[in-house]
Amino acid sequence: MRHLLICNWWILLMIPAEVYAAKPLADFQKEIKPFLTEHCLRCHGKQTAEADLRIDLLRNNWEDDREHSETGHWNQIRYRLLMQEMPPADQPQPGQASRQKVIRWLTQMLRKAGVSLMEPSDHYLPKHANKVDHQMLFDGSVRQPASTTGRLWRVSPHAYQAMMKGELAKNAKGVAQPFSELTGSGLKDYSDAFSIDEATTGQLIRNARAIVAAQTRGELKEGKWVAKGYPQPVKEMVALFNSTIQPPDEELKRKAIARQFQLVLKRLPTEEEELRFIEFLEHNIETAGMITGVRTTMTAVLLLPEAVFRFELGDGTPDQHGRTMLAPRELSFAIAYALTDKPPENQLLRTAAEGRLATRDEVRGEVQRILADKKISKPRLLRFFREYFGYGKATEVFKDKELNPHHRADLLVSDTDRLIEWILEKDQDVFKELMTTRKSFVNYRKDQKRGTVMPSQPKNLIHTSYGLPPDWKWTPAQPVDLPAGERSGILTQPSWLVANSGNFDNHPILRGKWIREHLLGGTVADLPITVDAQLPEEPEHTLRHRLRVTREKYCWTCHQMMNPLGLAFETFDHFGRYRTLERVVDLEATEKNVDKRGKSLGTVRRTVPVNAQGMVEFTGDAELEMAYNNAVDMIQQLARTDHARQVFIRHAFRYFMGRNETLNDSSTLINADRAYLDSGGSFRALVTSLLTSDSFLLRIDGFADDPGNRIAP
Element (H, E) at 102: helix 96-112
Confidence band, pLDDT 50/70/90 cuts, at residue 551: confident
Please say whether the beta carbons of 654 and 521 come within 8 A. no
Please say whether the beta carbons of 229 and 171 come within 8 A. yes
Residue 60 pLDDT more than 90? no
Select the highest-mean-pLDDT range: 2-6, 69-73, 145-149, 648-652: 648-652
**Which stretch of 34-43, 122-131, 197-206, 395-404 has the lowest confidence by average pLDDT?**
122-131
Segments making up each domain of the chain, as ranges: 18-143, 152-309, 404-415+428-635
**What single DSSP character describes residue 32?**
I
Please say whether the beta carbons of 443 and 462 come within 8 A. yes
pLDDT tens-digit readout, 450-487 = 777 888 888 889 999 999 999 999 999 999 999 999 99
Select the highest-mean-pLDDT range: 134-148, 250-264, 539-553: 250-264
SS3 sequence, 548-584? Answer: HHHHCHHHHHHHCCCHHHHHHHHHECCCCCECCEEEE
Q: State the average pLDDT over residues 648-652.
A: 98
Q: Which residues contact 250 (CB under 8 A, 6 or more apart)?
A: 278
Q: State the average pLDDT over residues 323-349.
A: 96
Report long-range pairs for 289-292 (Cβ below 8 Å, ≥24 apart): 290/240, 290/241, 290/246, 291/216, 291/220, 291/241
Please say whether the beta carbons of 382 and 420 come within 8 A. yes
- pLDDT, position 5: 32
Residue 588 pLDDT more than 70? yes
- Rounded to whole angstroms, the Cα distance separating 196 from 269 reads 24
| Between 479 and 74, the higher pLDDT residue | 479
Produce one character per residue of 143-167: b if its CB has 16 or more CB atoms within 10 Å, e if not. Answer: ebbbbbbbbbbbbbbbbbbbbbeee
Smallest Cα–Cα separation from 355: which of 315, 405, 306?
315
Side chain identity at residue 49, one-letter code: A
Confidence band, pLDDT 50/70/90 cuts, at residue 598: confident
| Between 401 and 85, the higher pLDDT residue | 401
Q: State the average pLDDT over residues 55-71.
A: 66
Please say whether the beta carbons of 295 and 213 come within 8 A. yes
Q: State the average pLDDT over residues 503-517.
A: 95
Tell me whether strands 480-481 and 452-455 are parallel, antiparallel or unpaired. unpaired
- Rounded to whole angstroms, the Cα distance separating 710 from 116 reads 8
Produce one character per residue of 206-224: b if its CB has 16 or more CB atoms within 10 Å, e if not. Answer: ebbbbbbebbbbbeeeeee
- Rounded to whole angstroms, the Cα distance separating 506 from 400 reads 14
- pLDDT, position 707: 31
- Rounded to whole angstroms, the Cα distance separating 129 from 517 reads 9
Residue 22 pLDDT more than 60? no
- pLDDT, position 61: 67
- Rounded to whole angstroms, the Cα distance separating 493 from 507 reads 15
Share of the chain above pLDDT 70, in %: 91
- pLDDT, position 96: 64
- pLDDT, position 333: 96
Share of the chain above pLDDT 90, in %: 57
- Rounded to whole angstroms, the Cα distance separating 452 from 375 reads 19
pLDDT tens-digit readout, 370-406 = 999 999 999 999 999 999 999 999 999 999 999 999 9
Cis amide leading into 379 (omega within 30): no
Residue 531, Cβ density class (10 Å: 0-12 exposed, 13-18 middle, ≥19 buried): exposed
- Rounded to whole angstroms, the Cα distance separating 371 from 354 reads 21
CB atoms inside a 10 Å sphere around CB 42:
16
DSSP reduced 3-state for 321:
coil
Confidence band, pLDDT 50/70/90 cuts, at residue 20: very low
Residue 543 pLDDT more than 60? yes
Residue 549 pLDDT more than 80? yes
Provide the total of helices (H) and of strands (E) in the chain, helices listed first: 29, 15
pLDDT tens-digit readout, 100-149 = 788 888 887 887 777 777 766 556 677 778 888 898 899 998 888 999 98
